[in-house]
Amino acid sequence: MRQAGVVEVADFPDPVPASGEVLVRMHHASICGSDTHVVLDGFHRPERFGEPGYPGHEGVGVVEASRSSAFSIGDRVLTVPPGWLGACWAELQVVPEQYLVPVPDGLTLQRGLMAQQLGTTVFAMKKFVRPDVDLANGTAVVMGAGSAGLYFVQHLRRLGYADVVVSEPGAQRRALARRLGATRVLDPATESLVDVVLHRTDRRGADLVIEAAGYDALRAEAIEIVRHSGTVGFFGYPERSGDVPYPSFLAFRRNVSIEWVNGAQLEPGLASFHEAMDLVATGEITVDHCLEAFVDLEDVHRAVVRAKRGGDGAAKVNLTLPAGR
């Protein structure tokens, strides 16, 4: 990323790991919603312009050199550095040992890659789910059925939520949400989410509303449809860096608990990412729908633009690097 708005391919010297770091030859990477904001919407860090691999932070590969006692040459690893340290859109990436998760034998690297974003949703659910909610009689809402939203649908059903409502404008993603367990799926262009939720809950409101698309209007709507003393989970990346209109009085009147999600990579022991890797390996969480769109690294800019416009129906847009071909 030489400048705002453009990611391009170029040649760079091979990076060298320092003590406590490993050099990973990347095989595959994914494009996170936050990456589209960094590249296209001005959320970048100017000091990182011109550094190879930035801002990619969802990657998987094989250790090529190690100065860590925890990882050896040939180990297959998921790389999960915080977004501001991301550099996985490059053939070689240096990663501190504390941001690596082993990929189990028998699991393809492509499938192991999915544990990165899945891990952030595992981390989020620890904040969103409250012990005082009767899940068997509860209603949860997921706004947006991209890769993260579809993971949330599965988490909610696994936990026992009887009713999971999904709002998603894309027809292909709506079909995926139904297949993965949503009990009611709607197109917000033709149906009112507020009306649907109030009807299904006898006007009480949803116990939990997860905003997983990253739009300010949806975050405001989430306050409208949550019940008194319910929980709103904001997972989607902020739409802009400045202040936005916010229904603070309504949130106050409803005594809403609001949880933002950030810092999964700073959780001790990367616990949520390890749990996510186990969920992928055992098949308890389905990731197949996120494995349908892989493009070569040389097309990274077009891939970012595609991800920004909703993947053209794909739940997740991923990259394949030379080593992964």
- Mean pLDDT, the chain, integer: 96
Q: Give the amino acid at 20.
A: G
Tell me the DSSP string of 82-127. Answer: -GGG---BSSEEEEEGGGEEEPPTTS-HHHHHTHHHHHHHHHHHHH
Mean pLDDT, residues 16-28 = 98
pLDDT in tens, 55-90: 999 999 999 999 999 999 999 999 999 988 999 999
- For 21-99, list the strands marked E by DSSP: 21-30, 58-66, 76-79, 92-96
**Domain-by-domain residue ranges, the chain?**
21-114+291-324, 119-264
Question: What residue has token string 């890659």?
Answer: 113
The whole-number pLDDT of residue 131 equals 87
On whether the pTM is more than 0.85, the answer is yes
* CATH homologous superfamily of 119-264: NAD(P)-binding Rossmann-like Domain (3.40.50.720)
The whole-number pLDDT of residue 245 equals 87
The whole-number pLDDT of residue 35 equals 94
Confidence check: pLDDT of 123 > 90: yes
The whole-number pLDDT of residue 240 equals 85
The whole-number pLDDT of residue 158 equals 95
256 Rama sector, left if φ>0, alpha if ψ -120 to 50, beta otherwise: beta
Mention every residue, 6+ apart, whose C-beta is less than 8 A from residue 322.
91, 297
- pLDDT confidence tier of residue 246, bands split at 50, 70 and 90: confident
Confidence check: pLDDT of 130 > 90: no
Confidence check: pLDDT of 208 > 90: yes
Of all residues in the chain, the percent with pLDDT exceeding 90 is: 94
* CATH homologous superfamily of 21-114+291-324: Medium-chain alcohol dehydrogenases, catalytic domain (3.90.180.10)
The whole-number pLDDT of residue 134 equals 87
Buried b (16+ CB within 10 A) or exposed e, 54-90: bbbbbbbbbbbbbebeebeeebbbbbbbebebbbbbb
The whole-number pLDDT of residue 152 equals 98
Mean pLDDT, residues 119-135 = 93
Task: Please state the φ and ψ torsions of residue 62, each to the nearest 5 degrees.
Answer: -125, 135
The whole-number pLDDT of residue 266 equals 95
Mean pLDDT, residues 173-179 = 97
